[in-house]
Amino acid sequence: MSTPIVRLEDLVHIYQGVTLKRYENELGSQEQIINSRNLEQIYISGELSSSQLDSFNLFKYRLQTDDVVITIRGTPLKASVVKDEVKGCLPNQNLAILRVKEKNLNSVYLAVLMRSKWLEKELSTLYSQSIGTQLLKISQLRELEIPLPSLDRQNQLAQLFLAAEQYTQITLDALEARNNLTQLIFSQILEGEQ
């Protein structure tokens, strides 16, 4: 049985992030901002920046739990899922929000798909049409056709990716600890020779 192919706009609402300059106001409220550097992991992480903004008309941009945030400028495409800790934050204008509207779509699966080599290859022709900084237009995202396996299969793929990401992080932490230990031994040897 083949996997159905569905247009992204049939599965999610798509918004571009906030143009910060438009809403800057030194008398406004302090808002937490999501940038592309926060999209390194499958869940949004890292230190958030902040800006003083007039928050009156920013409701639609505020992130909700399980939104998928993707980069639309530069490559490779990054995508991460919103957890409760960053709910209500605002993505900047270099990002897009994919807000799931169908119950048969797992947000983690969507983020994994959006950051996959398969999709990067699919998008390479769209990127090559832009001059200078690579830009993915919201209209192009809406037209994008993606595979939509069963929800059970999406859950399996999401769990596989999360396990791989966790293993990678454990490995990186072990390498950092090993490097720190090596540096400590090096320092102790040098100090012992003096």
Exposure class string for 2-17: b at 16+ Cβ within 10 A, else e: eeeebebbebbebbbb
Pseudo-torsion of CA 63, 11, 38, 20, nearest 10°? -50
Would you kindly state where each structural domain of the chain is located, as residue ranges?
Answer: 5-149
Provide the greatest CA pair distance for the chain: 72
* Class in CATH terms, 5-149: alpha beta
Q: What is the pLDDT along the chain (194 residues), one digit of tens a residue?
A: 688 999 999 999 999 999 998 888 888 889 999 999 999 999 999 899 999 898 778 888 999 999 999 999 876 789 999 999 999 999 999 999 999 997 899 999 999 999 888 888 888 776 555 566 678 889 999 999 999 999 999 999 889 888 887 877 788 888 889 988 999 888 888 887 65
**How many helices (DSSP H) and strands (DSSP E) are in the chain?**
5, 9
Closest residue by Cα to residue 53 from 25, 33, 34: 25
